[in-house]
Amino acid sequence: MKAVVFPGDRKIAIMDFPDPHPGPGEVVLQIKASGMCGSDLKYYRNPPGTPTLGLGERKGPIIAGHEPCGVVVEVGE
């Protein structure tokens, strides 16, 4: 799957990730749209290695957007 990520320092990139598979009681969504808010902008603006939102130091690019809208494409058992 592809995702838009914030590597930091006001950069945006498109990266490939392994396709997710749902576990019991989970679903996989094909995201059609995702809202961005002020907390997402902190990841966009801060340099890599900077503690953000009290979550500690990030270890890699962040897939931002926690207000998704999508279609269920796979259901776990």
Domain span at residue 13 reads: 2-75
* pLDDT at residue 35, rounded to an integer: 87
Amino acid at residue number 48: P
* Per-residue pLDDT tens digits for 10-68: 888 999 999 999 999 999 999 999 888 887 787 778 777 776 666 556 677 778 787 88
**CA distance from start to end of the chain:** 22
- State how many domains the chain has: 1
Distance CA 43, CA 49 (A): 11
* pLDDT at residue 58, rounded to an integer: 65
* pLDDT at residue 62, rounded to an integer: 77
* pLDDT at residue 16, rounded to an integer: 95
Tell me which residue has tokens 């897939």.
63
* pLDDT at residue 74, rounded to an integer: 97
